[in-house]
Amino acid sequence: KKEDNDEHTEEAIDAGNVIWEFDKEGDLIKGLSGVHHSNTNPLWIDLICDPNTFINIAEHIRPAIHNLTIEDCLTEDCREKLEIFKDYLFICLKTASDDH
């Protein structure tokens, strides 16, 4: 769903991108099934959820996410890194925010 009062969402839409927000994991999984990505049309997934929900969603992401990437996503103390896989990049960053 698009948040009309979120200026970051507006900027992303103006740049030709779309930001979706889902309240239920099933809705996200259904949404991902219709998304096609390529080198010229990449897909960015930023998931903020509990570990069980993340595992359920990760099982439906295609191309498949490597098991070690899933393990890194579930680890609070994952070190900052960039890993380059054949079909995706995994980026782990630390931010100054205490929100997430």
Q: Which of 2-6, 32-36, 42-46, 59-63 has the lowest mean pLDDT?
A: 2-6
Look at residue 6 and tell me whether its pLDDT is greater than 80: no
Q: At what angle do helices 51-58 and 67-74 cross, to 10 degrees?
A: 160
Look at residue 5 and tell me whether its pLDDT is greater than 70: no
Cβ–Cβ under 8 Å, residues 1 and 20: yes
Give the pLDDT mean for 61-71: 84
Cβ–Cβ under 8 Å, residues 15 and 35: no
Q: What is the pLDDT of residue 9?
A: 42
Most confident by average pLDDT, 1-10, 31-40, 44-53, 65-74 = 65-74
Q: What is the pLDDT of residue 100?
A: 55
Q: What is the pLDDT of residue 11?
A: 44
15-56 per-position pLDDT tens digit: 556 677 777 878 877 777 777 777 777 777 777 788 888 888
Nearest residue to 83 (alpha-carbon basis) of 68, 64, 63: 68
